[in-house]
């Protein structure tokens, strides 16, 4: 039979101990509801004795979860101090009322950590053991579930026997969860027998022999200082005695962070049922909420890297032409899991390595023609248009380049002159429908705008100016002039153009050309509704 791995989420406690990661009171409460939807087993809501605000957060979360009868247990952390024990019990009273209250108490066992954390008490190990037993009895007698952590467990070194004694004292007092943390994030499987997962197995065997009638849950709490938190956590689950894992969404937490819960959950889901495993494992997490809760922490706590596994922006985003071609045929071709399962979607980013199928897919999706025969030329034109944009472009930017490619008029240079006889001559270099350049004249009271209007009418009839205005972009004599023009085509559809130039006449001509280009592309290359 498969074994459930319980998920303890310490994002609100250990996560907010990371500099700059603190959230508002309201955001803490909202996060608890997201954790409830994710079906987190235990939410470590905070450290009630740290401040009045922390006390209020833990207390209100306990009330909120009790009100909706959440199955999620609410936990509060406290040090080996009786005043903190009573303060924590007070904060968690609403959770206790529905049998969902847990207190997490700890004491260091790391020889380097003990003297700096405990002072003179570090030299009196019997007193430490007795205090652990005494304080846990207070909590269990009140009806609380108790989790005990020998802090710095992965670096206990010569203190194995002392650690055994303090764990034994905790269990004798009623603690039912023993958490064995890699507090400084320095554990590695390469340590051999000293590896903390091997020590957990040794302690689990000792306790099972001494307390055969008690069901003790062993837990791992790993930090990521060497980037090994995920490996250590999964090793503790798959090769050790651990049935509970502790971490934070997006891997936030002190220093380099805690193990990422979304990575743990998805790895257990992916590999926990493999046939060769000595024991199969699973979690109760509802992964459809992983993206939502990850996005919340990325917005409210600490930014998430785009390439973060599972929920990062790039985790389901592709730009390689070969990859996209395959994914368009089979969405799972380059994905280890379906992003829809976690509330995400596969997306494509058009970039220098993207192919013509990708460009064509974007263009047709947004409502424009791109045939099989012309897709390669169009794709190259788009890449040339954004030749300096090596990091990719948005779909909207791609369509802008597509429209530039389709536009009948392209300006490389534009000049005009008016003689004494009231004749305006306009010269355009670049592209004018089928011509590389034109030079046209108009005699009369009209301006350069009238000149270009007449020239366009012979190639694209039906265009009429409906509205036109120009204004200066500043108050100096050399301010740019911006022109806005609205044209109609055959008296019906309207199209807008906009342009700026130092010369008011040129700005008007450019705006008119912009409007005509828009009209031409929309008329000639927009897909009909039946074609979309």
Residue 323, pLDDT score: 84
| pLDDT tens readout for residues 2-44 | 999 999 999 999 999 999 999 999 999 999 999 999 999 999 9
Residue 462, pLDDT score: 93
pLDDT > 70 in the chain, percent: 99
- Token pair 């306009």 in the structure block, residue: 426
- For 190, residues 6+ apart whose C-beta sits below 8 A from its C-beta are none
Rg of the chain taking only CA atoms, in angstroms: 34
Q: Give the total residue count for the chain.
A: 532
Cα dist. 337→173, 271, 333 in Å?
Answer: 44, 12, 10
Cα dist. 454→164, 489, 516 in Å?
Answer: 95, 15, 13
DSSP type of residue 248: B
DSSP type of residue 216: P
pLDDT at 93 over 60: yes
Choice among 317-321, 329-333, 495-499 with the minimum mean pLDDT: 317-321
Closest to 266 measured CA to CA, from 305, 296, 232, 230: 230
pLDDT at 221 over 80: yes
Sign of dihedral through CA atoms 55, 263, 257, 117?
positive
Instruction: State the pLDDT confidence band at 531, using cuts at 50, 70 and 90.
Output: very low
| Mean pLDDT for all residues in the chain | 93
| φ, ψ at 299 (rounded to 5°) | -85, -40
Q: Which helix (H) or strand (E) holds 399?
A: helix 395-406
Token reading at 160: 């194995």
Please give the residue that has the higher pLDDT: either 44 or 329: 44
| φ, ψ at 303 (rounded to 5°) | -60, 150
By the 10 Å C-beta count (0-12 exposed, 13-18 middle, 19+ buried), 371 is classed as exposed
Measured distance CA(21)–CA(263) in Å, rounded? 20
pLDDT at 530 over 60: no
Beta-carbon neighbour count of residue 421 at 10 Å? 6
| pLDDT tens readout for residues 110-162 | 999 999 999 999 999 999 999 999 999 999 999 999 999 999 999 999 999 99
| pLDDT tens readout for residues 401-452 | 999 999 999 999 998 888 877 788 889 999 999 999 999 887 776 678 888 8
| pLDDT tens readout for residues 479-521 | 899 999 999 999 888 999 999 998 888 999 999 999 999 999 9
Collapse the DSSP code of 416 into the 3-class scheme (helix H, G, I; strand E, B; otherwise coil) and give the result.
Answer: strand
Burial 214-247 (b: 16+ CB within 10 A, else e): eebbbbbbbbbbeebbbbbbbbbbbebbbbbbbb
Closest to 15 measured CA to CA, from 288, 168, 223: 223
pLDDT at 532 over 50: no
Beta-carbon neighbour count of residue 401 at 10 Å? 21
Q: What's the average model confidence in pLDDT over 341-365?
A: 89
Please give the residue that has the higher pLDDT: either 361 or 299: 299
DSSP track, 490-532: TTTEEEEEEEEESSHHHHHHHHHHHHHHHHHHHHHHBPPTTT-
Residue 446, pLDDT score: 62
pLDDT at 529 over 70: no
Measured distance CA(529)–CA(74) in Å, rounded? 54
């Amino acid at each position: 039979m498969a074994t459930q791995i319980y998920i303890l989420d310490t994002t609100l406690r250990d996560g907010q101990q990371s500099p700059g990661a603190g959230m508002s009171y309201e955001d803490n409460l909202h996060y608890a509801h997201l954790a409830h939807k994710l079906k987190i087993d235990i939410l470590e809501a905070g450290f009630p004795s740290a401040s009045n605000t922390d006390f209020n957060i833990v207390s209100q979360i306990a009330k909120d979860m009790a009100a909706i009868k959440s199955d999620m247990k609410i936990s509060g952390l406290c040090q080996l101090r009786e005043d903190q024990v009573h303060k924590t019990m007070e904060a968690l009273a609403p959770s206790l009322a529905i049998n969902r209250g847990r207190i997490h108490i700890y004491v260091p066992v790391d020889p380097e950590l003990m003297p700096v954390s405990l002072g003179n008490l570090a030299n009196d190990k019997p007193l430490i053991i007795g205090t652990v037993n005494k304080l846990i009895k207070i909590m269990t007698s009140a009806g609380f579930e108790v989790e005990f952590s020998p802090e710095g467990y992965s670096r206990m070194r010569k203190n194995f026997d002392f650690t055994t004694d303090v764990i034994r004292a905790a269990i004798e007092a009623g603690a039912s969860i023993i958490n064995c943390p890699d507090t400084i994030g320095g554990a590695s499987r390469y340590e051999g027998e000293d590896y903390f997962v091997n020590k957990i197995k040794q302690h689990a065997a000792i306790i099972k022999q001494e307390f055969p009638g008690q069901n003790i849950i062993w837990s791992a709490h790993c930090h990521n200082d060497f980037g090994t938190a995920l490996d250590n956590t999964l090793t503790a689950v798959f090769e050790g005695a651990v049935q509970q894992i502790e971490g934070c969404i997006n891997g936030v937490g002190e220093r380099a962070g805690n193990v990422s819960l979304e990575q743990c959950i998805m790895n257990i889901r992916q590999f926990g049922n493999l046939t060769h495993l000595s024991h199969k494992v699973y979690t109760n997490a509802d992964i459809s909420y992983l993206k939502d809760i990850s996005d919340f922490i990325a917005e409210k706590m600490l930014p998430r890297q785009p390439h973060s596994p599972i929920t990062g922006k790039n985790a389901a985003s592709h730009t390689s032409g070969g990859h996209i071609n395959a994914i368009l045929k089979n969405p799972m071709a380059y994905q280890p899991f379906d992003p829809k399962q976690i509330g995400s979607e596969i997306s494509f980013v058009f970039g220098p390595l993207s192919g013509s199928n990708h460009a064509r897919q974007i263009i047709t999706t947004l409502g424009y023609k791109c045939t099989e025969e012309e897709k390669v030329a169009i794709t190259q034109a788009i890449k040339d248009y954004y030749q300096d944009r090596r990091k990719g472009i948005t779909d909207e930017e791609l369509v802008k380049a597509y429209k530039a490619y389709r536009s009948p008029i392209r300006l490389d240079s534009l000049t005009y002159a008016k003689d004494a006889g009231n004749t305006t001559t306009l010269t355009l270099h670049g592209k004018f429908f089928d011509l590389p350049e034109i030079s046209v004249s108009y005699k009369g009271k009209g301006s350069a705008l009238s000149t270009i209007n007449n020239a366009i009418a012979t190639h694209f009839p039906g265009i009429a100016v409906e509205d036109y205005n120009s204004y200066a972009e500043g108050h100096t004599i050399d301010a740019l002039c911006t022109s806005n023009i609205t044209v109609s085509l055959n008296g019906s559809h309207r199209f807008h153009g906009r342009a700026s130039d130092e010369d008011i006449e040129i700005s008007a001509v450019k705006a008119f050309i912009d409007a005509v280009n828009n009209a031409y592309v929309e008329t000639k290359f927009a897909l009909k509704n039946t074609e979309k």
